[in-house]
Amino acid sequence: MLDTALSNNLLEQTTPQRIRTEVCLALDEPDPVAVLHAAENLGMLPHIFPALHWHPNLATWQQRLPPSADALLKMGILTYTLSERDRATLIERYRLPNDAARLLRDVGTLHNRLPALHQTSLSNSELDALLHPFGRAALLVVRTVEQPLVDERITHYLNHLRDIVPLLNGHDLQALGVPRGPLLGTLLQGLRAARLDGQVATHADEEAWIRAALDEGTRGSKEA
């Protein structure tokens, strides 16, 4: 449809919603990178989105995707080199659905965190703090493109850290004397970080960690 519209000089008149539909169909193709390359050769990309370009790395990145990769992951690969400003424009122009919009924003923000992910030494809790805010799809896209250290760290995070939670919950902390409010959430976050770093392992370890944190907080208040 798009190539016909281009040949008839009608692409500029095609609605963004129709273009979005055609692009979604292209993402379901076995080789969307080849579709993008063909679109660039036909001169279509400036009409679809001027900042979007084909480049040789796209084929390599696509090959690294698992066979089960869905259209969302493929979109993440094709748009990986866009700036944050271009990502925002793409979301607005084509009124992208929430999952696609989140992926674009997450990948852009994650890209800004690459220097931190390349640090020589990162504890599990530090790695979690860097990656926890982002959706799984964005993490998979960045892992696919950024090799090998970032790939290794994101894989470690997804396989071993992301789903870890403390043994104690909010009710348990209240039973130990923690009042409702911001402190409860802060202590749960700290407890999870301690668990990620291997500082606590058992129910008793976690209770002792909470009591120590409460004692330290009490001493700090008295000194202040």
If one counts the domains in the chain, the total is 2
179-202 pLDDT, tens digit per residue, is: 999 999 999 999 999 999 999 999
**59 lies in the same domain as 151:** yes
Residue 189 DSSP label = H
**174 lies in the same domain as 76:** no
| R_g of the chain computed on alpha carbons | 23
**63 lies in the same domain as 127:** yes
Closest CA to 128 of 191, 48, 41: 191
CA 161-141-92 angle, 5° bins: 120
**177 lies in the same domain as 102:** no
Whether the Cβ atoms of residue 69 and residue 78 lie closer than 8 Å to each other: no
Burial class from Cβ neighbours inside 10 Å (0-12, 13-18, 19+) for residue 219 reads: exposed
46-105 pLDDT, tens digit per residue, is: 888 999 999 999 999 999 998 889 999 999 999 999 999 999 999 999 999 999 999 999
Tell me what pLDDT residue 8 has. Answer: 40
Q: What is the CATH number of the domain that holds 72?
A: 1.10.3090.10
**129 lies in the same domain as 184:** no
Domain of residue 187: give its range: 170-223
Q: Which of 111, 134, 161 is the last residue of a domain?
A: 161
d(CA 193, CA 191): 5
**96 lies in the same domain as 195:** no
Which element (helix H / strand E) includes 194? helix 182-196
d(CA 48, CA 7): 14
Whether the Cβ atoms of residue 177 and residue 214 lie closer than 8 Å to each other: yes
